[in-house]
Structure 1
Amino acid sequence: MLSKYLKWTVIASMLSLSIAAVSPASASVKEPEKIVDKQLLRNPSEEKRIIVRYKPEAAAERKASKKKYKAHKNFKHLNAEAMTVTSQELEELIADKSILSIEEDGIVQVEAQVADWGIERVQADHSWANGITGDGVKIAVFDTGVADHEDLTILGKVNYTASSTASDLNGHGTHVAGIIAALDNTIGTVGAAPDVDLYSVKVLEDDGTGLYSYVIDGIDWAIDNDIDIINMSLTGTGNSLALEEACDTAFDNGILLFAAAGNESTNSSGDDPTRYPAGYDSVIAVANGNSTDGRNSNSNKGPHLELTAPGTAVYSTHIGNAYTSRSGTSMASPYAAAVAALYMEQNPTYTNVQIRNKLIETADDLGDPGRDSSFGYGMVQAPFRNPSGTGLYAEYFNNANLTDLAMTRIDSQVSFYWGTGSPAAGIDPDTFSVRWSGQVLPLYSETYEFTTITNDGVRLWVDGQLIIDDWNNRSVFTPNSGTISLTGGQKYDIVMEFYENVDSAGADLLWYSLHQNQEFIPKRLLYPAVPSLAAPTGLAATAGPGYASLNWNASFGATSYNVKRATASGGPYTTIASNVTSTSYYDIGLSYNTTYYYVVSAVNGSTESANSAQASATIEVNGLRAEYFNNKDFTSPMALRTDANINFNWGTGSPAPGVDPDTFSVRWTGYIKPQYSETYTFYTNSDDGVRLYVNNVLVIDNWTDHGLTENSGTITLTAGQKYHIKMEYYDNIFDAVAQLSWSSSSQSKQIVPTNRVYLP
Structure 2
Amino acid sequence: MDYAKLLRFLNDSIDPSGKSGRHIVRFLQPSHYYEFIRQWFKYRHKYPALQSIRSSPLLQALFCPLRLQDGQMDSEPGLYVESDSTISVNSPASRTKERATEIPWGVKRIGAPEVWSVSTGHRIRIAVIDTGADYNHPDLRYSLARGIHLLNRASLPHDDNGHGTHIAGTIAAAGGAQGMIGVAPRSLIYPVKAFDHNGSAYVSDIILGIDWCIRNRMHIINMSFGMKSTSISLKNIVRKAHEAGVVIVASSGNDKKQRTADYPAKYAQTISVGATNRDGKVASFSNYGPYIDIYAPGEKITSSWLGGGHREMSGTSMATSHVSGAIALLLAARPNLTPDEIKQRLRRTARPLAGSLPRGRTRPGEVSAVRLLRAKTSRRRQS
TM-score w.r.t. the length of structure 1 is 0.42
Alpha-carbon distance between aligned partners in 2 of 1:337 and 1:383, rounded to the nearest angstrom: 15
Give runs of aligned pairs for residues 40-55 of structure 1, distance below 5 A.
47-55=20-28
1:104 matched to which residue of 2? 83
2:104 matched to which residue of 1? 116
Q: Which residue of 135, 138, 146 corresponds with 2:133?
A: 146
Opposite residue 82 of structure 1, the aligned amino acid is F
Q: Does 1:265 align with 2:244?
A: no
User: Does the CA contact (< 8 Å) of 1:278 and 1:284 recur in 2?
Assistant: yes
1:287 matched to which residue of 2? 274
Q: Which residue of 219, 226, 230 corresponds with 1:235?
A: 226
Distance of aligned partners of 1:46 and 1:59 in 2 relative to their CA distance in 1, 3 Å threshold: same
SS of the equivalent of 2:181 reads coil
SS of the equivalent of 1:294 reads coil
1:644 matched to which residue of 2? none
CA positional deviation for 1:358: 1.7
Give runs of aligned pairs for residues 213-612 of structure 1, distance below 5 A.
213-265=204-256, 270-272=258-260, 274-366=261-353, 368=357, 377-383=364-370
2:32 matched to which residue of 1? 58
Distance of aligned partners of 1:238 and 1:162 in 2 relative to their CA distance in 1, 3 Å threshold: farther
- List per-residue Cα deviations over 1:456-478 (Å, max 9, x = no partner): xxxxxxxxxxxxxxxxxxxxxxx
User: Does the CA contact (< 8 Å) of 1:140 and 1:231 recur in 2?
Assistant: yes
SS of the equivalent of 1:156 reads coil
CA positional deviation for 1:271: 2.5
Alpha-carbon distance between aligned partners in 1 of 2:275 and 2:320, rounded to the nearest angstrom: 8
SS of the equivalent of 1:336 reads helix
Opposite residue 213 of structure 2, the aligned amino acid is A
Opposite residue 52 of structure 2, the aligned amino acid is A
- List per-residue Cα deviations over 1:626-657 (Å, max 9, x = no partner): xxxxxxxxxxxxxxxxxxxxxxxxxxxxxxxx
- List per-residue Cα deviations over 1:569-625 (Å, max 9, x = no partner): xxxxxxxxxxxxxxxxxxxxxxxxxxxxxxxxxxxxxxxxxxxxxxxxxxxxxxxxx
Alpha-carbon distance between aligned partners in 1 of 2:219 and 2:185, rounded to the nearest angstrom: 16
CA positional deviation for 1:300: 1.4
SS of the equivalent of 2:57 reads coil
Alpha-carbon distance between aligned partners in 1 of 2:76 and 2:371, rounded to the nearest angstrom: 57
User: Does the CA contact (< 8 Å) of 1:157 and 1:201 recur in 2?
Assistant: yes
Alpha-carbon distance between aligned partners in 2 of 1:191 and 1:185, rounded to the nearest angstrom: 10
CA positional deviation for 1:162: 5.6
Opposite residue 58 of structure 1, the aligned amino acid is H
Q: Does 1:210 align with 2:210?
A: no
SS of the equivalent of 2:211 reads helix
SS of the equivalent of 1:87 reads coil
SS of the equivalent of 1:360 reads helix
Structure with higher strand content: 1
2:150 matched to which residue of 1? 160
CA positional deviation for 1:131: 2.9
Q: Does 1:80 align with 2:61?
A: yes
CA positional deviation for 1:259: 0.7
User: Does the CA contact (< 8 Å) of 1:134 and 1:195 recur in 2?
Assistant: yes
SS of the equivalent of 1:94 reads coil
CA positional deviation for 1:157: 2.3
Larger Rg: 1 or 2? 1
Structure with higher helix content: 2
Alpha-carbon distance between aligned partners in 2 of 1:261 and 1:213, rounded to the nearest angstrom: 20
Alpha-carbon distance between aligned partners in 2 of 1:335 and 1:370, rounded to the nearest angstrom: 29
Opposite residue 71 of structure 1, the aligned amino acid is S
CA positional deviation for 1:92: 4.7
Q: Which residue of 106, 114, 119 corresponds with 1:126?
A: 114
Distance of aligned partners of 1:285 and 1:386 in 2 relative to their CA distance in 1, 3 Å threshold: closer
Distance of aligned partners of 1:302 and 1:79 in 2 relative to their CA distance in 1, 3 Å threshold: farther
1:95 matched to which residue of 2? 75
- List per-residue Cα deviations over 1:432-489 (Å, max 9, x = no partner): xxxxxxxxxxxxxxxxxxxxxxxxxxxxxxxxxxxxxxxxxxxxxxxxxxxxxxxxxx
The count of residues paired between Structure 1 and Structure 2 equals 333
Q: Does 1:198 align with 2:189?
A: yes
Alpha-carbon distance between aligned partners in 2 of 1:95 and 1:121, rounded to the nearest angstrom: 55
CA positional deviation for 1:210: 0.2
Alpha-carbon distance between aligned partners in 2 of 1:370 and 1:193, rounded to the nearest angstrom: 36
TM-score w.r.t. the length of structure 2 is 0.81
SS of the equivalent of 2:212 reads helix
SS of the equivalent of 1:383 reads helix
2:172 matched to which residue of 1? 181
User: Does the CA contact (< 8 Å) of 1:161 and 1:210 recur in 2?
Assistant: no
- List per-residue Cα deviations over 1:696-746 (Å, max 9, x = no partner): xxxxxxxxxxxxxxxxxxxxxxxxxxxxxxxxxxxxxxxxxxxxxxxxxxx
CA positional deviation for 1:155: 1.3
User: Does the CA contact (< 8 Å) of 2:146 and 2:156 recur in 1?
Assistant: no
SS of the equivalent of 1:231 reads strand
2:5 matched to which residue of 1? none
Alpha-carbon distance between aligned partners in 1 of 2:35 and 2:72, rounded to the nearest angstrom: 17
CA positional deviation for 1:165: 5.8
Opposite residue 156 of structure 1, the aligned amino acid is R
Alpha-carbon distance between aligned partners in 1 of 2:26 and 2:55, rounded to the nearest angstrom: 11
Alpha-carbon distance between aligned partners in 2 of 1:336 and 1:363, rounded to the nearest angstrom: 11
User: Does the CA contact (< 8 Å) of 1:371 and 1:377 recur in 2?
Assistant: no
CA positional deviation for 1:200: 0.5
User: Does the CA contact (< 8 Å) of 1:370 and 1:377 recur in 2?
Assistant: no
Alpha-carbon distance between aligned partners in 2 of 1:338 and 1:85, rounded to the nearest angstrom: 40
- List per-residue Cα deviations over 1:350-373 (Å, max 9, x = no partner): 22322222212111122548986x
User: Does the CA contact (< 8 Å) of 2:273 and 2:292 recur in 1?
Assistant: yes
Alpha-carbon distance between aligned partners in 2 of 1:377 and 1:70, rounded to the nearest angstrom: 47
- Higher relative CO (CA 8 A, sep ≥ 6), structure 1 or 2? 2
Opposite residue 275 of structure 2, the aligned amino acid is N
Distance of aligned partners of 1:277 and 1:371 in 2 relative to their CA distance in 1, 3 Å threshold: farther
Alpha-carbon distance between aligned partners in 2 of 1:349 and 1:47, rounded to the nearest angstrom: 47
User: Does the CA contact (< 8 Å) of 1:189 and 1:315 recur in 2?
Assistant: no
Opposite residue 318 of structure 2, the aligned amino acid is M
Distance of aligned partners of 1:63 and 1:91 in 2 relative to their CA distance in 1, 3 Å threshold: farther
User: Does the CA contact (< 8 Å) of 2:115 and 2:373 recur in 1?
Assistant: no
Alpha-carbon distance between aligned partners in 2 of 1:370 and 1:218, rounded to the nearest angstrom: 42
- List per-residue Cα deviations over 1:160-212 (Å, max 9, x = no partner): 12697620010000000000000051122110000001110011111100011
CA RMSD of aligned residues (A): 2.4
User: Does the CA contact (< 8 Å) of 2:120 and 2:187 recur in 1?
Assistant: yes
CA positional deviation for 1:386: 10
Structure 1: which 5+ runs fail to align?
Answer: 1-44, 388-760
SS of the equivalent of 1:97 reads coil
SS of the equivalent of 2:88 reads strand
User: Does the CA contact (< 8 Å) of 1:110 and 1:235 recur in 2?
Assistant: yes
- List per-residue Cα deviations over 1:45-78 (Å, max 9, x = no partner): 9612011122115222233342664731110211
User: Does the CA contact (< 8 Å) of 1:133 and 1:193 recur in 2?
Assistant: yes
